[in-house]
Every structure is written in C-alpha cells, then in structure tokens.
Chain A
Amino acid sequence: MGVFEFMVGRKKPTPSELAKERLKVVLVHDRLKVSPELLELIKSELLSVLSRRLDIDEQHMQITMTREGGLDTLMANAPIKRQKVTFEWDPPSKDVIRGKVHVEEDQQ
C-alpha cells in the first residue's frame, strides 16, 4: 500500500486513500519540520551511499517521510537498473566485512 503503490500506477487510489496518504506525509513534515531542501540533501546523500554498491535509477528514486504503524518513518524507494548492475566488491571501509554485504537475490 502507500505512496509507492500509487507511484507505480498499480491502482488508482480512492479519494479517501489519497487523503490518508497525503496526511501521513504532511503530518510528519509538520511535526519534524523537515524542509524540502533537507529532504533533497538526504536523498542525494543516500544516493551516493547506495551508488557505491548498486546502479540506482536516480531519476526514479523517491524518498518520503510518512507515518507507518504510528511511527514517523523515512521511506526510500530506489529502483535498481537491472541491466547495468555493477557491484563494487571491495568494501569502502574496514568496518564493512567482506562478503556480508547484502545482495538482493535476483540481482545475480
């Protein structure tokens, strides 16, 4: 459910669902006072971290602050360009243990 389902166009939301999803986002922003600029910054930082391991579709990457299960939550949706997946196997720092990097199983 949620914003993402609407984004990929799986289903047209009812007005009530739209209201709920919009509210969840707006309330988190109201409460945490996160500006769009800050969210953009978080997005670009996330992208640079993720891009060390995965080829992310930058155009379609979305991050949203919303409320899930009573908790204010940051939701990141980072589509991976499957055809051009590249993995950088050398850990970027010593504290990432080699081989323990989580890989989505269908990314080969």
Chain B
Amino acid sequence: MDSTRIITITSGKGGVGKTTTTANLGTALAMQGKKVAVLDADIGLRNLDAVMGLENRIVYDLVDVVEGQCRLKQALIKDKRQPELYLLPAAQTRDKNAVNSIQMEELCQQLRQDFDFVIIDSPAGIEQGFRNAIVGANEIIIVANPEMASVRDADRIIGLVEAAGKPEPRLILNRLRADMVKRGDMMAITDVLEVLNIDLVGIVPEDESIIIATNKGEPAVYDKRSRAGRAYLDTAQRLLGEEVPLDEVLDSPSLLERLRRLIRFGPALSEKPARSQSS
C-alpha cells in the first residue's frame, strides 16, 4: 500500500523498552482496526515473540524469508487476539550479519503490500543490526529513559538517523517516575526535550504492570489498570493523527519549582559570577 507507514523503534542503548514499545504500539494500532505487522530485527536475541506471547508458534523466521527458505506469508505469525496483527520473528541461531540492508529494504517493500503499519523492533547498538532496522523505515521513533546514558545514546541515534537521510525522529520517553522528578532526582520531560531538541510523541510511566504483562505474554495495552498500557494507547492515537494531550500529571514539578526554573532561565550570557562577587 502506498500509504503504509513503516516505523522503526530504536534507542541506541539497550533495555530502555524498545521491544515493549513495539509490542504495545503494534497491538494498540491493531485494536484500532489497522492491519499491522511487527517485525523483530534483533537477530540472535529475539524477544518480541515472547513479549507478545507467540514464542511457541514460530516455524520460520526473518532470515528464512530473506534467504528464500519460505514465503513471507509462511513466516508471519498471526496474533492470538488481534485478527489483523502479525509478527515476523527474528532468527535466534544467527547473527546480525545474516541479513544485509538491501534484503531488509526488499522485505519492507514486500510487507508494504499487505499492511497499514509495519513496526520494526531495532536491536540496541549502532552497527549493522541498527542500520538494517532503519533502512526501510519512513518514520523513526526513539525510545529513551530520563537518565544520562539513555539520553546520550538517543542523541547519537538522532545524528545517525539524520545522516541516513530519514525524516526527523520523534521521541517516546519511557519509564518516567513522577515522584523522582518531583524530588529533583530525575530529569523532567522538559529537560530531556531541551537537551535533545526533538518532538515528543509519547510519555510512558515506569510501571510494574509491564513486567507482569511480559510474564503473561499479553501486552499491557489489554490491562485497563495499567498506566503504561494507557500511555501506549494514547501514543498509538497520536500516531493516527489524533490530538491526545500528554499526561502532565506524570511530570509535575511543583509550581514553585517551575517558577524558579523560569527565573533561572536567563540568556546564557547574563551569567557573570565574577561581577556579582566584586560588586
């Protein structure tokens, strides 16, 4: 389909929630009636199948398709609950170099014919696996946590995505802890956005329900009590072009703190400590 959106979920750093995000956004979009394929590009370390509870149904994988061992349709696994959601699993016994960029781009073109959305779960890192994951994408979403290492890696990824000639990536800020932000122990959303200079598409709170959902093999979007699940549903709505307000409660430094920040935010050059000492 001409209008197919191929979205790669990437991060640079590992463990920030790419796979969880892929599973939840894919499921949420399918719940909205979209035809969705989720693709695990993390060859050798597959997990998207487990997060979606489909690990027992794998016969063929992405490498089999690329090498012509099977047809694409044979490798696509139908989701348990969503009739229009399919998983293309990664190979577990191969490595990232089993596939090249040209093959990945061809695979994306093939998936395009049958789906409204293709969501690609990128491996961590900036090597071949990452390059394969973004080559066929027409949108990039970066997942980051509000901490040093993750934000630093996200900035590196932004640079690489730009260099690859892809459209400007957008950000999902994951595992935010409002209580820590309030205490000044964690960077607030505004801090991360200021440092990275990127558009935000979703904020997901740190939430135990994600681990529970993964244990059960049911994405958190099915759990009505899961705050993270609701955040993913909202994010999927935004991807569909609807205006869903970002949950400000998640990131609420007190009014006093906001005011202090505003006041301290003078232009950089107004900083003259030497002068204030001598006057």
Contacts and interface: CB of A to CB of B under 8 A. Distances in A.
- What does DSSP make chain B's interface, helix, strand, loop or mixed? helix
Tier of interface size on chain A:
20 to 34
Nearest to A78: B274
A2 B265 CA distance: 9
Interface stretch (B146-154, B167-175, B201-209, B232-240): B146-154
Given A4-B271, A30-B155, A79-B274, A16 B266 contact: no
Contacts of A24: 195
B150 to A, nearest CB: 10
A27 B152 contact: yes
B185 to A, nearest CB: 5
A17 interface: yes
Given A23-B148, A27-B155, A77-B273, A16 B264 contact: no
B273 A15 contact: no
A77 B271 CA distance: 9
Contacts of A82: 278
Contacts of B181: 16
Contacts of A15: 184-186
Interface stretch (A42-50, A68-76, A88-96): A68-76
B184 A16 contact: yes
B191 A20 contact: yes
B271 A23 contact: no
Given A30-B156, A67-B195, A14 B185 contact: yes
Contacts of A17: 184
A4 B273 contact: yes
Tier of interface size on chain B:
20 to 34
B268 A106 contact: no
Nearest to B269: A75
A58 B265 CA distance: 28
B161 to A, nearest CB: 14
A14 B265 contact: no
Interface string A17-47: 1011011101100110000000000000000
A19 B187 contact: yes
Contacts of A57: 274
Contacts of A30: 152, 155-156
Interface in B247-279: 264-268, 271, 273-275, 277-279
B120 interface: no
B39 to A, nearest CB: 30
A29 to B, nearest CB: 10
Contact of A104 (B151, B265, B275): B275
A27 B192 CA distance: 12
B148 A69 contact: no
Nearest to A31: B159
B197 interface: yes
A82 B191 CA distance: 36
A1 B260 CA distance: 10
26 contacts: A1-B266, A1-B271, A2-B268, A2-B271, A5-B271, A8-B273, A10-B273, A14-B183, A14-B185, A15-B186, A19-B148, A20-B195, A23-B148, A23-B151, A26-B152, A27-B155, A57-B274, A67-B195, A68-B268, A69-B267, A69-B268, A77-B273, A78-B274, A79-B273, A106-B275, A106-B278
Given A16-B188, A23-B148, 5 more contacts: A1-B265, A1-B266, A2-B268, A8-B277, A16-B185
Interface of A: 1-2, 4-5, 7-8, 10, 14-17, 19-20, 22-24, 26-27, 30-31, 57, 67-70, 73, 75, 77-80, 82, 104, 106
